[in-house]
Amino acid sequence: MHESNDKDRSKLIPTKTSSLASIGVFGERWAIAVGRKPFFNYCVHKENSNPGNVKELTKVLNPKIWECTLSVICEKDNTMKNAIESQLDLIQSFAGLMVNAGYSLRVFNPAGQDDIGGGCGQLWYFQEWLKNKK
């Protein structure tokens, strides 16, 4: 998801994609079909970590159905270690808001992954691509 509304999400993902509401409906159908809760990933930053964002999320992603992973964002001009140090307090504060809204969640803290800059190969590939674009 990464953002709590379609307008902000379209700035981050500038392609035609599913709306948050349609993803929410699909996730609910999937949960019924397989008997497990879907997860959504949310990259917390200063502009998407307030109670209004939580309210927007609960409208389209029912906390009784959905679980959440909150992630650290590492900008291209930062190291993962610095990103973790600067953002973990923000994420922990937002995590409290999400738990109060009824979400079961986990926080992805990629500590120790500074060499590749994230927790997955796709992120590593993207960061290598950014380095080569300088």
Confidence of residue 1 (pLDDT cuts 50, 70, 90): confident
> Residue 21: is its pLDDT beyond 80?
yes
Q: Looking at residue 109, what is its pLDDT? A: 65
Domain-wise residue ranges, the chain: 6-132
Fold of 6-132: TIM Barrel (3.20.20)
Alpha carbon of 80 to those of 45, 55, 83, 103: distances in Å?
15, 29, 5, 26
Q: How far apart are CA 77 and CA 4, in angstroms?
A: 25
Please give the single-letter amino acid code of residue 86.
S
Residues 6+ apart with CB under 8 A from 9: 1, 2, 3, 20
pLDDT in tens, 25-34: 999 999 999 9
Q: Looking at residue 117, what is its pLDDT? A: 47
